């Protein structure tokens, strides 16, 4: 015969599992927070429930207890966070989700963690990959100059071209250049007709993979099937189409390499090098395709975004645009085409590209390193995540005078080996595509600036100030980490 408990006691017992779970979560959070403070050596900083670089921190509503990525971006760019904490280093210590971090805008810390004598004490975390900047729609007017001869399909003989989304133009330019010059892929400016079987074209697939990189990179494929929307269906179709295309390319290039008839481009050279490797270091087909795609993606995305941003700043600074145009005319003339030999003479064109890429909005704006043991930095303990803040570094007045101003002239005469060129990383781990990117950018900017005057395109009756505020509102998808 059972004992009937009073309702109050029964209700309390029913809540025990819930209360127990709450207690375990609270205990776990306290321990995580305490251990996190030890990892960052109690360095002053932000104390939040989620790391902004964790899934929960990225997706949770932005509020006082979850400041979000935009707050961090702006706080680093204007050095507010560094001023608030009184240091060039601050910490982020979450108590529920994410790893504790030390964020630094100090060049000496960058040198030691990335390529100095202590770089073996740090490793690149596998969970972090390249960070990207995402820009709002950039609208510009291109007015043809007399004597200009640059031709783009669809523009015809128009004197004035309104471009509502400049990124589409620069992405198409850079994708064509890297795909043909770097990888020997037969991409054309005009959109090819759809295959008779209804599949996506390679260009369409590549665009979807790039535009929806979060769904491609971060979400497992099985998540796409749980949410059977057109968005995820197109992502899966694009991934499958790119996979088919890349596998076919690898197969044909292997055959060409073995027959001694391979083209000299980056793709073929990677296949050739892989074929010559011993079995211990040889990449399988999937790994080889992954490396090629990363190069293809990184090789055009950064340059395209920076070129679009450069056009914004030139539209806002007509006097600088005139100076750069004079440099172009002196070197190339009104009817000539820039050659590789002209690259070193177009120093003011290069300076504009570098000012945007390095000084204004570095696209690879975070560098993550994890300490593997105690080092003479005295900041990290083993397991501590170091984040080198490229934005904060470039806006650090200790290294750059008047960092808020657009001053391309600061890069004229600076040695290519200078530590100031942090956008391509520095030291032995410098980006191998640096020269390709800068030559490509200088050639394209030289032609565009010579043949067109760049002006703001005001949409829906907006003022120039409103346009400036809109187009300069870059946001960072820091969730994917950094270099």
DSSP at 143: E
Q: Which residue has the tokens 């990449």?
A: 283
Instruction: Give the 3-state DSSP-derived string for 165-191, with helices as H, strands as E and coil as C.
Output: CHHHHHHHHHHHHHHHHHCCCCCCCCC
Reported residue count of the chain is 483
CA–CA dist 83, 295 (Å, integer): 37
What is each CA distance from 454 to 47, 161, 221, in whole angstroms?
45, 10, 43
Please enumerate, by residue number, every residue annotated as part of a binding site. Answer: 431
Q: Which residue has the tokens 């994708």?
A: 175
Q: What are phi and psi of 458, to 5 degrees?
A: -85, 125
66 DSSP β-pair partners:
63
Closest C-alpha among 126, 128, 134 to residue 482: 128
First-last CA distance in the chain: 69
Please enumerate, by residue number, every residue annotated as part of a binding site for heme. Answer: 431
Q: Evaluate whether 377 touches 113 at the Cβ level (below 8 Å).
A: yes
CA–CA dist 85, 78 (Å, integer): 13
CA–CA dist 292, 297 (Å, integer): 9
Q: Spell out the residues 6+ positions from residue 349 whose beta carbon is closer than 8 angstroms to its own.
A: 324, 327, 328, 442, 445, 446, 449
What is each CA distance from 182 to 270, 292, 433, in whole angstroms?
11, 10, 10
Closest C-alpha among 148, 142, 143, 144 to residue 333: 148
- pLDDT score for 476: 46
DSSP at 372: S
- pLDDT score for 179: 78
What are the pLDDT tens digits along the chain (483 aa)?
456 666 666 666 566 676 677 888 888 889 999 999 988 889 999 999 998 878 788 778 888 888 876 676 666 666 778 888 888 899 999 999 888 988 888 888 887 776 655 555 676 665 554 444 445 566 777 777 654 555 565 666 677 888 888 888 888 888 888 877 777 777 777 766 666 677 788 778 877 876 676 555 556 677 777 777 888 888 888 888 888 888 888 888 888 888 877 667 777 887 887 777 666 667 777 777 777 776 666 667 778 888 988 998 999 999 999 999 999 999 999 988 889 999 999 999 999 999 988 877 666 667 777 777 666 565 556 677 888 887 788 888 888 888 888 999 999 888 777 777 777 766 656 676 788 889 999 999 999 999 888 999 888 888 888 888 888 765 544 333 345
CA–CA dist 106, 43 (Å, integer): 15
What stretches of 159-255 adopt beta strand conformation (E)?
A: 160-163
133 DSSP β-pair partners:
476
Helix and strand counts by DSSP (H, E) for the chain: 18, 11
389 DSSP β-pair partners:
366
Cβ neighbour number for residue 273 with a 10 Å cutoff? 14
Cβ neighbour number for residue 244 with a 10 Å cutoff? 13
Q: Spell out the residues 6+ positions from residue 196 whose beta carbon is closer than 8 angstroms to its own.
A: none
pTM of the entire structure?
Answer: 0.75
Q: Would you tell me the crossing angle of helices 347-354 and 285-316 to the nearest 10 degrees?
A: 110
Helix (H) or strand (E) holding 348: helix 347-354
**Rg (Cα) of the chain, in Å, rounded?**
26
Instruction: Give the 3-state DSSP-derived string for 2-63, with helices as H, strands as E and coil as C.
Output: CCCCCHHHHHHHHCHHHHHHHHHHHHHHHHHHHHHHHHCCCCCEEEEEECCCCHHHHHCCCE
């Amino acid at each position: 015969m059972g004992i009937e408990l009073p309702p109050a006691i029964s209700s309390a017992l029913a809540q025990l599992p819930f209360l127990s779970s709450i207690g375990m979560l609270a205990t776990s959070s306290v321990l995580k927070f305490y251990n996190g403070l030890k990892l960052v050596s109690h360095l002053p900083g932000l104390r939040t429930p989620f790391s902004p670089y964790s899934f929960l921190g990225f997706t949770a509503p932005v509020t006082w207890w979850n400041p979000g990525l935009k707050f961090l971006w702006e706080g680093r760019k204007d050095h507010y966070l560094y001023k608030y904490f009184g240091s060039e280093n601050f910490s982020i210590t979450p108590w529920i989700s994410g790893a504790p971090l030390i964020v630094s805008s100090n060049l000496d810390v960058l040198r030691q963690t990335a390529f100095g004598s202590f770089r073996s004490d740090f490793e690149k975390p596998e969970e972090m990959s390249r960070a990207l900047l995402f820009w709002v729609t950039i609208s510009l007017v291109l007015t043809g100059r007399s004597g200009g001869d640059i031709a783009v399909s669809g523009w015809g003989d128009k004197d004035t071209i309104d471009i509502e989304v400049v990124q589409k133009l620069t992405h198409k330019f850079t994708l064509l250049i890297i795909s043909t010059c770097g990888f020997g892929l037969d991409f054309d400016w005009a959109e090819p007709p759809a295959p008779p079987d209804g599949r996506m074209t390679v260009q369409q697939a590549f665009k979807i993979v790039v535009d929806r990189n979060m769904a491609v990179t971060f979400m497992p494929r099985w998540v796409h099937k749980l949410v059977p929307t057109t968005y995820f269906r197109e992502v899966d179709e694009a991934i499958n189409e790119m996979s088919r295309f890349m596998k076919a390319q690898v197969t044909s290039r292997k055959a060409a390499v073995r027959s001694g008839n391979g083209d000299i481009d980056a793709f073929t050279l990677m296949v050739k090098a892989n074929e010559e490797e011993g079995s211990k270091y040889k990449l399988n087909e999937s790994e080889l395709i992954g490396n090629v795609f990363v190069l293809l993606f990184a090789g055009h995305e950064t340059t395209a975004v920076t070129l679009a941003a450069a056009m914004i700043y030139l539209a806002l600074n007509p006097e600088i645009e005139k100076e750069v145009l004079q440099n172009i005319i002196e070197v190339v003339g009104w009817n000539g085409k820039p050659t590789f030999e002209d690259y070193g003479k177009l120093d003011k064109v290069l300076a504009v590209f570098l000012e945007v890429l390095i000084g204004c909005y570095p696209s690879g704006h975070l560098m993550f390193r994890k300490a593997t043991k105690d080092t003479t930095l005295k900041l990290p303990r083993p397991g501590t995540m170091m984040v080198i803040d490229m934005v904060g570094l470039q806006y650090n007045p200790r290294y750059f005078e008047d960092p808020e101003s657009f001053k391309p002239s600061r890069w004229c005469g600076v040695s290519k080996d200078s530590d100031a060129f942090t956008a391509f990383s520095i030291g032995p781990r410098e980006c191998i595509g640096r020269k390709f990117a800068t030559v490509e950018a200088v050639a394209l900017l030289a032609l565009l600036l010579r043949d067109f005057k760049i002006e703001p395109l005001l949409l829906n009756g907006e003022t120039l100030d409103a346009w400036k505020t809109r187009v300069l509102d870059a946001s960072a998808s820091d969730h994917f980490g950094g270099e």
